[in-house]
Structure 1
Amino acid sequence: MATTTPDDSREFFELTDEEQARADELHRSTTIVDGLIAGTYYLDDSDYRDRLPEAGIAAGNLTVGGSDDDFEATVDGVCEVRERIRANADNYFLIESVEDIDSAGDRTGIVLGFQGANWVGTDLDRIRVVDELDVKVIDLAYNRANTLGDGCCEGRDAGLTMLGREAVEELNDRGILLDVSHTNDATTMDVVEHSADPVIASHIGCRALANSQGRAKTDEQLRAVAEAGGVNCITPFPPVIKRDPDTHEVQPATVHDVLDHVDHAVEVGGIDSVAFGGDMSDRTLNSGSIHQGSNLNVWRKTHPEVYGDGPTDRMDPYPEGLNRYTRLGNLTRGLVDRGYDDDEVRKILGGNLQRVFESVWE
């Protein structure tokens, strides 16, 4: 399904002509699945609505609703996004089953997902409602603690609450995939332990390479997700890719640094446990500023151990060579450059996530 991307590979990789051709063919023919799409504007902003299909994204987990929204606002937000998907059916469609991914063609399938579940409150029956709306991925806690467990910015070392354990069971019963990208260390391990289904970390880094508390996962956490049949999705989000280990200053990175995280996650958890989670916002990067309420704006000053030390009015530069969806081909070229074979590349680009989706949703 994937299309070709701008050819800047010669700037980053010394591939032979044969390797270059192989990488380009792999990118064109692989069903690419993105662990995390950040920004519903990709659906209908005239300047960006073609970006995901052009990058060859067959399906992606799109965050819908705000992390602090109450239940009514959450349901309204999901319904609105569903309408926007229908209104832009030339480029997008709603993923209702894993089989839909293989029928994407030149469009991008949208998996509805939540970062945070504050909307649950104390009423687990609300999960039934979002299930009926085809929400398929839920991260229980986003930065803060809630009634279910602790997010990555909480100072205490608490994990799932009793209600949180019940929520995990309910989500398992309904075939909704659990995400641990923004949970703290204890909650991450609790979710993996108590879930009967595999879980994903939809957009994370490896803490061994970038000391981001919570947002970059430890080797123990990477291994636990992998051993439970889940997937760790490496993101180019700068604070979890490269930083000073002592001062937390976010440092300039390239696609090679992202590939280092991929290699490390594969080494720890195996080839079947690694995928890609974009978390890239072309519009935010182009605007040169970030909105009030973004993570860097709200959390960076008080939690540099999580979000790094850097500007609070704009995004850090994303890694050179992998800063936009139009450069996603460089990830494929980099995997070829690192010696991954065709089957391994296909697993990282989408096959591993498809396997987990099938395991949980069906």
Structure 2
Amino acid sequence: MFEESSATADEPFDLDDQQRSRAAKLHEVCEIIDGLVAGTYYLDDPEYRDRLRDADITAGNLTVGGPSFDYTDTIHSVTDTRTQIRENDDNYLLVESIDDIDVASESDRTGIVMGFQGANWVKNDLSRIVTMAELGVRVIDLTYNRGNTLGDGCCERRDAGLTMLGREAVGICNDQGIVLDVSHCNDETTMDVVSYSDDPVIASHIGCRALASSQGRAKTDEQLRAIADNGGVNCITPFPPVIKQNPETHKVQQATIADVLDHIDHAVDVGGVESVAFGGDMSDRTLDQGSISKGSNLNVWRETHPEVYGEGPTDRMDSYPEHLSRYTELSNLTHGLVDRGYSDNDVCGILGGNLRRVFEEVWK
């Protein structure tokens, strides 16, 4: 969309003093809402407990469950998260309504929106969605990597979308004020969710497939446009496999913040600036530790599904984009949006205003 400026290795953008001052002010005054916060350790690990607030994040969609097929375990995960938020209420506030985001901002805390990546726990009992809504869950991606009773995830190798039960689940989520997320849905399920939902839909942490060929996890122009046309939001993530990879070998390549901004520009070109936001999916502690758990996507899915998760190591995270690898570098994104020529209103929309609009409409 816009031309990027020249820069140095230490300074990613060649901004003048006025632009730097403007970017710093915008990062301070804009409401920053993260489409996807990846780890509950941000709540209770002393080393990372201040990380989201220090990054000036007003609120974030925190993954508290989803892939497990065990309903009891999933319930425990939600209730445990509520307890963690309560025990760390100096830094965090549970978000169950749009007003809670305002309260979090006014009290210098980060609002936690409880969300699911996947709904395997539903099985054949749609009343469980109602229970989750009553417990405060506000975002649900109906599928993760595998298929389930509701539809197919991004790693399934068949052209199936939502099941009949999945279509009913969409309606229940609409009725319960739950935001539907399509980040890990396959192509058909993504389009089905948008088609059957009366409410706007989000893709909380994705890339653009026109720029990175990650099947399912990077959305096609048709999908980006459909989400935008339905009033929804596409949240661009710096997660390496969906930002930069060799289109033939799927080898994940080292990206920079400029590559992330290219994805933002592309999504804006396709669906309009009101349809674009940011979804971090940045796992600071995992990157710092230098290793990943045996249950992680890269360990479990990469070797069998490089078309989704790229070709690369299975024992550690890929290097995140230079200058946007951790929450401590989030202000660089604001500087980058200024560098690309976005207006103040557009910057604030991408950083959080666009997601807030969807949340406000769905949580009404």
* Aligned twin of 2:320: 318
* Aligned twin of 2:275: 273
* Aligned twin of 2:47: 47
Q: CA deviation at 1:103?
A: 2.3
Distance 2:16 2:101 in 1: 32
Q: Is the CA contact (8 Å cut-off) linking 1:9 and 1:333 kept in structure 2? A: no
The residue correspondences of 1:118-137 to structure 2 (distance < 5 A) are 118-137=120-139
Identity over aligned pairs, percent: 71
The residue correspondences of 1:1-362 to structure 2 (distance < 5 A) are 11-105=11-105, 106-362=108-364
Q: CA deviation at 1:96?
A: 1.5
How far does the alpha carbon of each residue in 1:275-334 deviate from its partner, in whole angstroms, 9 at most, with x for none? 000000110000010000100000000000000000000000000000000100000000
Letter in 1 for 2:321: P
SS in 2 for 1:249: coil
Distance 1:63 1:78, change over 3 A: same
Q: Is the CA contact (8 Å cut-off) linking 1:9 and 1:330 kept in structure 2? A: no
Q: Is the CA contact (8 Å cut-off) linking 1:181 and 1:202 kept in structure 2? A: yes
Q: Is the CA contact (8 Å cut-off) linking 1:61 and 1:112 kept in structure 2? A: yes
Distance 1:66 1:199, change over 3 A: closer
Gaps of 5+ in 1: 1-7
Distance 2:183 2:318 in 1: 19
SS in 2 for 1:343: helix
Distance 2:281 2:67 in 1: 15
Q: Is the CA contact (8 Å cut-off) linking 1:206 and 1:264 kept in structure 2? A: yes
The normalised TM-score by structure 2 is: 0.96
Distance 2:9 2:345 in 1: 21
Distance 1:218 1:42, change over 3 A: same
Distance 1:55 1:33 in 2: 11
Aligned residues: 355
Distance 1:118 1:355 in 2: 28
CA RMSD of aligned residues (A): 1.0
Distance 1:107 1:63 in 2: 18
The normalised TM-score by structure 1 is: 0.97
Gaps of 5+ in 2: 1-7
SS in 2 for 1:262: helix
Q: Is the CA contact (8 Å cut-off) linking 1:117 and 1:139 kept in structure 2? A: yes
Distance 2:9 2:72 in 1: 47
SS in 2 for 1:103: helix
Q: Is the CA contact (8 Å cut-off) linking 2:50 and 2:91 kept in structure 1? A: yes
